[in-house]
Amino acid sequence: MRIIAGRSKGRILESIKGRNTRPTSDKVKEALFNIIQGRIPESIVLDIFAGTGNLGLESLSRGANRAIFIDNDIKAVKTIKRNCYNLGYEKQSEIYRNDAARGLTELSKRDILFDIIFMDPPYGRGYEEPLLQLIYDLNILHNDGIIVIEHDSKTVLPIRIAGLYCYDSRKYGGTGVSFYRKE
Query: In angstroms, rounded to a whole number, what is the distance separating the alpha carbons of residues 10 and 26?
Result: 11
Q: How many CB atoms lie within 10 A of CB 95?
A: 22
Q: How far apart are CA 37 and CA 108, in angstroms?
A: 26
Residue 58 lies in a domain: yes
pLDDT of residue 1: 86
CA distance 161 to 93: 30
Provide the residue type at 130 as one letter: P
Q: Which residues pair with 68 in a beta bridge?
A: 46, 94
Task: State pTM to two decimals.
Answer: 0.95
Per-residue confidence (pLDDT) for residue 20, from 0 to 100: 56
Domain of 124?
Answer: 26-129+138-176
The total number of residues shown for the chain amounts to 183
- pLDDT per residue, tens digit, the chain (183 aa), is 899 999 999 999 999 876 555 667 778 999 999 999 999 999 999 999 999 999 999 999 999 999 999 999 999 999 999 999 999 999 999 999 999 999 999 999 999 999 999 999 998 899 999 999 999 999 999 999 999 999 999 999 999 998 999 999 999 999 999 999 999
CATH code for position 84? 3.40.50.150
**Is 15 part of a structural domain of the chain?**
no
| Contact between residue 95 and residue 87 where contact means Cβ atoms under 8 Å apart | no
| 111 inside domain | yes
Burial 106-136 (b: 16+ CB within 10 A, else e): ebbeeeeebbbbbbbbebeeebbeebbebbb
Total domains in the chain come to 1
Residue 161 resides in a domain? yes
Q: Please state, in angstroms and rounded to a whole number, the distance separating the CA atoms of residues 78 and 4.
A: 22
Predicted pLDDT of residue 5: 95
Does any domain span residue 5?
no
3 domain-assigned: no
The answer to whether residues 100 and 128 touch, using CB atoms and an 8 Å cutoff, is no
Residue 20 domain-assigned (yes or no): no
For residue 1, tell me if it sits in a domain.
no
